[in-house]
């Protein structure tokens, strides 16, 4: 795959360890959900490296000093429903003040075309640093359309976080939105004829919510 300056693919033993359990077809719903959250938390440390801080005065038991805080209103998480919801707690664990917006996209199983069916965003979304989350970046159609929908509503600073991506998805997203930073925990081989990632983990939404 071509190299893109805005694409970051993790090479971390903890992620490799957790992804192997996540992929396993015998991993049950509870452990699957926990792993999605844990991998998201590990990714968040890197993806939030450039989050803006403001200095604040802190009084320790011994003296006053200067500390730094992420302003409460400055960050939003936007999960792409359904499967993106599984990543929200992974970020909230380390930044509980992040606001949450929701965007609903489903992929037509025949055409693989994404369709938006829901969008509710926090007030002032245009001024926030927005982290769009979806565990699977397959053809890239859902992420591209969700990001286009956010830009139409005034969002300027966007980071995409996905657990597993196909090269096809990264290429499509990087070409369509070169201003968006893309963090992917694991790059897989390719898509199959049904648009599923290989080796992948199957259908993330079904495995998170037990719908099949
Ligand atoms: C899955 C996944 C992504 C999308 C990725 O969602 O969670 O949103 O497919 O595929 P793409 O890159 O080819 O667009 P799905 O449409 O199955 O909906 P769900 O989350 O409700 O299960
Ligand atoms: N959506 C999924 O949940 N899994 C895939 O492999 C591709 C799209």
Q: Indicate which atom in ligand 2 lies nearest the CA of residue 83.
A: 3
Catalytic annotation, residues: 107, 111, 203, 206
Omega before 82 cis (within 30°)? yes
Place of tokens 């999605």: 36
Q: Is 168 touching ligand 2 by the criterion CB < 6 Å?
A: no
Render pLDDT for 95-142 as a digit per residue (tens, 0 to 9): 999 999 999 998 888 898 899 999 999 999 999 999 999 999 999 999
Q: Indicate which atom in ligand 2 lies nearest the CA of residue 204.
A: 3
Task: Provide the CATH topology of domain 7-209.
Answer: Rossmann fold (3.40.50)
**Beta bridge partners of residue 57, listed in sequence order:** 66
For residue 194, give Cα distances in angstroms to 68, 88, 206.
48, 27, 16
Cα–Cα nearest to 105, from 125, 90, 122, 85: 85
Residue boundaries of the structural domains of the chain? 7-209
SS3 133: strand
pLDDT bucket at 2, cuts 50 / 70 / 90: confident
93 Cβ neighbours under 8 A, 6+ residues apart: 37, 41
Q: Is 204 touching ligand 2 by the criterion CB < 6 Å?
A: yes
SS3 55: strand
d(CA 17, CA 39): 10
Render pLDDT for 170-197 as a digit per residue (tens, 0 to 9): 999 999 999 999 999 999 999 999 999 9
Pocket test for ligand 2, best of 109, 111, 196, 208 (most atoms within 8 A of CB): 196
Q: What percent of the chain has pLDDT over 70?
A: 100
Cα–Cα nearest to 69, from 86, 49, 45, 52: 52
């Amino acid at each position: 795959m071509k190299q893109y300056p805005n694409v970051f693919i993790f090479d971390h033993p903890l992620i490799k360890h957790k992804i192997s359990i996540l992929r396993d077809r015998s991993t049950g719903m509870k452990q699957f959900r926990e792993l999605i959250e844990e991998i998201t938390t590990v990714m968040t440390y890197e993806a939030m490296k450039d989050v803006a801080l403001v200095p604040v005065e802190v009084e320790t038991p011994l003296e006053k000093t200067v500390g730094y805080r992420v302003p409460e209103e400055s960050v939003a998480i936007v999960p792409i429903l359904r499967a993106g919801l599984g990543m929200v707690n992974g970020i909230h664990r380390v930044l509980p003040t992040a606001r949450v917006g929701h965007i609903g996209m489903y992929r037509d199983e025949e055409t693989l075309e994404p369709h938006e069916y829901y969008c509710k965003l926090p007030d002032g979304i245009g001024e926030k640093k927005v982290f769009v989350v979806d565990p699977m970046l397959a053809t890239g159609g859902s992420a591209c359309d969700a990001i286009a929908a956010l830009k139409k509503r005034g969002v300027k600073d966007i980071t995409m976080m996905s657990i597993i991506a196909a090269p096809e998805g990264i290429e499509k997203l990087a070409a369509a939105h070169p201003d968006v930073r893309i963090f992917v925990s694991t790059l897989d081989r390719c898509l199959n004829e049904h648009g599923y990632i290989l080796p992948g983990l199957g259908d993330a939404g079904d495995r998170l919510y037990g719908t099949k």
